[in-house]
Chain A
Amino acid sequence: MIAAHPGSTRHRERSQACGRCQSAVALRLQICSFTARGDLRRHPQVVIPRRPHLSEFSTPDLQPNACRDKFAGNFNSDLLPKANGIPMELADLAAIGPWGHQHLLDLEKLTAAQLTTVLDLADQLSDATAGGRGRLDLLKGIVVANLFFENSTRTRTSFSLAARRLGADTVDFSPGSSSLSKGETFIDTAMTIEAMGIDLVVCRHRTPGAPHLLARQLRAGVLNAGDGTHEHPTQGLLDIYTIRRHRGRIAGLTVALVGDIRHSRVARSNIHGLVKLGARVIVCGPSTLVPQEIRQLGVEVAWNLDEILPEVDCVNLLRVQFERQRGAFFPSIAEYATLFGMNAERIRRARPELLVLAPGPINRGVELTPDVADGPHSVILDQVSNGLLIRMACLSLLVRERQLQGASR
């Protein structure tokens, strides 16, 4: 077991292949706060609280030397890392918190405890896979279909990688090359693909509720990878996870979601998750893009970014969804950038430890200026790496749930 480095201010995790068994093994390196690129930050890094590793439930030690020792000594196949992954059983996940969902369609239906289950599991997977770089065999034999009826690069790549890192097979589906262009309904397309023996369907669609319709039609578990302007649960989870990794908590923090709230699925998922976990959430944007009724979801509404900025711990800069808007919601991009864009001047007036998140893809010069995007407050790239862990966690939870339900049937 790797001991946490006492006194270290920051962990960096790296993977390295074991010379004998080819398994990815984690090395947790201590990196001096002032040498790592990301640590040229003004604010002090908080040490991530250590949680039980998944590896504590299974036998192999992650240290390369220990692995080698096993090969050298008594040969015990149970201890042998299988294939090139780590022999971890889904049953091991029983040790983690409550879940109980066959599908992951939105965060609105998750409880605080269930949200925490995902975040905690992501932490464990991070430890077990060296921050998502190593491989596990958690989902061996599972087939995950990526049904992206709407274009996406980052989310699809992230889901594919997450599935493969857990040993699952993936099939990708893109609407351009499919029967959809021949007039088949998306439900028929999904049922056809399911009939090929799919366990999980990751669905992105431009219409709110499309994954919900699939969930009613399919036996496979459905994971919503963004349904129009409704929700994007894994994005919400990874945003929240990124905040928790940097701050160690969610409760009591003030998070501002800035931009096109009306058309943002990311905003809705963030709102439901953050509010349940005890954060104060302020939504801020042009009054045409911030519906008044959103207050009833438990958030505050602001139209003036500069007024709220001093109170804010984290700001999540949502992309202006030009493609989803009907008509003009604000007069010009320049005016939007002036009123709501995050720039160096605003950063100066913000709290020194402000976290800047952006779900991406970012429009540089619109939601934020390049110096902010690449600056010390930005955790945008952390979000991307954390997305992998969150998606691994979600896939694992859904597969485990299927197995539990299958067992009880």
Chain B
Amino acid sequence: MNSLHICGGRVIDPASGRNELADLLVLDGVIASIVPTGSAAPALPQGIRHIDASGLIVSPGFIDLHVSLREPGHEEDECTATGTAAALAGGFTTIAAQSDTSPVVDSRSAAEFIRLQADRARHCRVVPLGAVTKGHRGEELAEIGQLVLGGAVGFSDAGHPVANAEVMRRALEYTRMFDRPILHLAIVPELAEGGVMHEGVQSTRLGLRGIPAAAQDIMTGRDLALAELTGGRIHLMCVSTRDSVNRIRLARLQGLPVTADVTPHHLLLTDDVMQSFDPMFKCTPPLRSRDHIDSLISGLRDGTITAISSDHQPRALEKKQVELDAAPSGICGLETALSVCTKALIHPGHLSWTQLLYLLTAGPAEILGLDAGTLQIGRPADITLFDPNATWIVDSTHFLSRSRNTPFHGMSLPAKVRAAIIGGEIRYQYPQTPLAIT
């Protein structure tokens, strides 16, 4: 069981530097061998299934650093079963579940419930993130040690920045004991309050309350100073501004324990889209202007930013079909992440496939210390197959996620995930073009 022979695809494994047409053999859920296509095949067990992967890229399964599964408490947006199904459809074989459930994941039992629901759903692998502070209130530390025992791989107050510097300092010091990162949305709340978009020409034109880039720059600077002070590991989520990238670059050159990620939508969309006043474009931090995007891309190219996260934030349609200021932030991102990255990074020639896939696999695995994100002999066979040359029209009504809050509905996007394999088991296939399996 769980044995596959994936033939003729381009195997790209950023962690080991492999990028060649190769046949990949999975035995009992583990990667057994990878040999260049056309060379002598190893001994195959009888009855093994062959997948014709010609024309496809065979990649380690993608890893997402922060995904909101919304269960328990917000099942109108998403539940573990739908969220993890959506993850597979997006090629993600491991996701870290954000702690913004209700109640928040600030106790061991809450963390274990996430894992239990994921086991029941049997889609992708799920590792929980625990809260930094009780109830995301930013006042007292959550039971971080208990959360580690419950399986938490990192800590985050999700959309609630830890505004109090003293609390963040203690959290960074305390998490050092467990060698787990704090994933922080670095935004100064007072500067962002009531804002619905990037502050700039467009916000001035549209009369919409803006969130200045400085709101992220200032908090990023504070976090970096605290990382230096404490030696704790800080991971900055959803970096969106030029100065944040510059500060992180400098800190990493100085050897500080800091990492960062960026979302696909912040790489493709500018604040110009807000001219539509469509709440589907509302996210935190807001979509920025072109010069900020260029800085994000340079940060990806030079290794300042080592991960891309979909920052999947499902929101029920009725919550988004309201006035812009009343609508919640968030974009349902799992199922479009690869395609949006391809359009934003591969097509303009900013990154190679190896570079992009690093940001989706080995990069995030390293940040969370996961034993995943690579195609090496003896490792669990978590594999994503996608067609880099496909084009598809996003139809949010076909999403496996329970929510449809995507700004890409109706857009033609490149690259389509064709299959997601967990431990040698094909858990997802793109129904419109199933794989050729013999």
Contact = CB atoms under 8 A, between A and B. Distances in A.
Given A208-B277, A212-B276, A326-B194, A231 B322 contact: no
Interface stretch (B62-70, B201-209, B262-270): B201-209
Interface stretch (B78-86, B142-150, B323-331, B378-386): B323-331
Interface residues of B, number: 21
A115 to B, nearest CB: 18
A168 interface: no
A327 B324 CA distance: 21
A231 B277 CA distance: 13
Nearest to B197: A208
Interface string B311-343: 000000010011111100000000000000000
Contacts of A336: none
B318 A230 contact: no
A291 interface: yes
A135 to B, nearest CB: 36
A74 interface: no
B207 A230 contact: yes
Nearest to A268: B207
Contacts of A108: 205
B193 A207 contact: no
B322 A187 contact: yes
Interface in A277-299: 291, 293-294, 296-297
B324 A209 contact: yes
Given A185-B318, A185-B321, A296 B201 contact: yes
Contact of B323 (A210, A263, A291, A296): A210
A99 interface: no
A229 interface: yes
Interface in B169-198: 193-194
B159 interface: no
A291 B204 contact: yes
Contacts of B322: 185-187
A268 B205 CA distance: 7
A229 B276 CA distance: 15
B201 to A, nearest CB: 4
Contacts of B203: 293
B200 interface: yes
A189 to B, nearest CB: 11
Contacts of B325: 207, 228
A204 interface: no
Contacts of B323: 186, 205-207, 209-210, 213
B205 A209 contact: no
Contacts of A207: 323-326
Interface string A206-229: 111110110000000000000111
A201 to B, nearest CB: 16
A209 B201 contact: no
Interface string B283-322: 0000000000000000000000000000000000010011
Chain A interface bracket (under 10, 10 to 19, 20 to 34, 35 or more): 20 to 34
Interface in B46-63: none
Contacts of B321: 185, 187
A187 B318 CA distance: 11
Interface string B200-227: 1101111111000000000000000000
A291 B276 CA distance: 22
A293 B206 contact: no
Q: Which of B193, B203, B204, B276 has the most CB of A within 10 A?
A: B204
B206 A209 contact: yes
Contacts of A186: 322-323
A293 B207 contact: no
Contacts of B278: 213
Contacts of A326: 193-194, 209
B281 to A, nearest CB: 11
Nearest to A210: B323
A133 interface: no
B193 A213 contact: no
Contact of B277 (A206, A213, A262, A294): A213
A269 to B, nearest CB: 10
A297 B203 CA distance: 12
A209 B277 contact: yes
B204 A294 contact: yes
Contacts of A206: 323
B215 to A, nearest CB: 14
A227 B207 CA distance: 9
Nearest to A296: B201
Contacts of A228: 207, 325
A187 B279 CA distance: 13
A231 B228 CA distance: 47
A205 B207 CA distance: 13
A268 B318 CA distance: 31
Contacts of B194: 326
Interface of A: 108, 185-187, 205-210, 212-213, 227-231, 262-263, 265, 268, 291, 293-294, 296-297, 326
23 contacts: A108-B205, A185-B321, A206-B323, A207-B326, A208-B206, A208-B207, A209-B208, A209-B276, A209-B323, A210-B277, A210-B324, A212-B276, A212-B277, A213-B323, A229-B208, A229-B209, A230-B206, A231-B207, A268-B205, A291-B204, A293-B203, A297-B205, A326-B209
6 cross-chain pairs, A with B, having the tightest CB-CB distances, nearest first:
A209-B277, A230-B207, A229-B207, A207-B323, A293-B204, A293-B201
Given A265-B207, A268-B205, A293-B203, 10 more contacts: A185-B318, A207-B324, A210-B323, A213-B323, A213-B324, A229-B207, A262-B204, A263-B207, A291-B204, A297-B204
